Amino acid sequence: MAAIEQRRPEDVLALPLVDADGIASLVPAHDRILTPAECRQIAVEIAGRGLWEGVELTPTESHTRAYALLYEDERIEMWVLSWLPHHSTGFHDHGESNVGFCVVQGTIVEQQLRFAEPPCELALAVGDTRAAGTDYIHCLEWETGSPALSVHVYSPPLTFVGQYRYDDEGILRREAQSGRDELTKD
Ligand SMILES: [Fe+2]
């Protein structure tokens, strides 16, 4: 299998204007990979303290979503993502990473893929959160807000993701890709 290109934030993002010291203080003192609950708690803290508010995001009406890296170290990374009409991640997993996230503006809709059952759908409004481990396959889409915004925390950093799409024969396929490539439905 071909190697997956690893992208650095400076390759794809403008550095955000955020309270870097404030965000770094949220990282637990232990040296373990963070649990889903710990990821979620950090997302809630970022949301509650408004630490995402200085981020330079330039949402467009195009298919491309805007996102910015708030913080990263060897165990964790934190992002703010923007959502506009027609934006959708498609179904994906988070590779080896745990995840927690919190909606900070507008509304997004989550569908979670489940075995032998239809996907469950959940509307997530400001303050709503999700947290999950490596068995989590979901799709996020814009619902309201101009833009909708959400804060996402991953541990370990989101090196690879699995993007799920149907092939021409109707078989669901998983394609591994860099965690810093944009996820898309099509
Ligand atoms: Fe995700």
Residue 85 lies in a domain: yes
Is pLDDT of 107 > 90? yes
Q: Which domain holds residue 53?
A: 36-178
> Which residues have CB under 8 Å from 30's CB, separation 6+?
none
Residue 11 resides in a domain: no
Provide the residue count of the chain. 186
Query: pTM, whole model, 2 decimals?
Result: 0.88
Is residue 16 in a domain? no
Q: What gap in Å lies between CA 129 and CA 4, rounded to an integer?
A: 30
Rounded distance from Cα 29 to ligand 1 centre (Å): 26
Residue 186 covered by a domain: no
55-92 burial, b at 16+ Cβ within 10 Å, e below that, comes to: bebebeeeeebbbbbbbeeebbbbbbbbbbeebbbbbb
Is residue 84 domain-resident? yes
Q: What is the pLDDT of residue 60?
A: 62
- Rounded to the nearest angstrom, the distance between the alpha carbon of 54 and the centre of ligand 1 is 23
Bigger pLDDT: 142 vs 15: 142
Q: What pLDDT is attached to residue 78?
A: 95
- Residue 82 placed within a domain: yes
For residue 173, being part of any structural domain is answered with yes
Tens-digit pLDDT profile for residues 159-183: 999 999 999 999 989 999 998 888 8
Residue 130's CATH number: 2.60.120.10
Is residue 81 helix, strand or coil?
strand
Task: Say if strands 67-72 and 77-83 run parallel, antiparallel, or are unpaired.
Answer: antiparallel
CA of 4 to the centre of ligand 1 (A): 19
Gap from CA of 137 to ligand 1 centroid (Å): 8
The structural domain count of the chain equals 1
- Reading phi first (left if > 0) and then psi (alpha if -120 to 50, else beta), residue 158 is in beta
H or E element that contains 21 = helix 20-24
Instruction: Give me the pLDDT at residue 10, please.
Output: 40
Ligand 1 centre from 50 Cα, in Å? 22
Evaluate whether residue 99 is within a structural domain.
yes
pLDDT tens per residue across span 45-99: 999 999 888 777 766 656 678 888 899 999 999 999 999 998 999 999 999 999 9
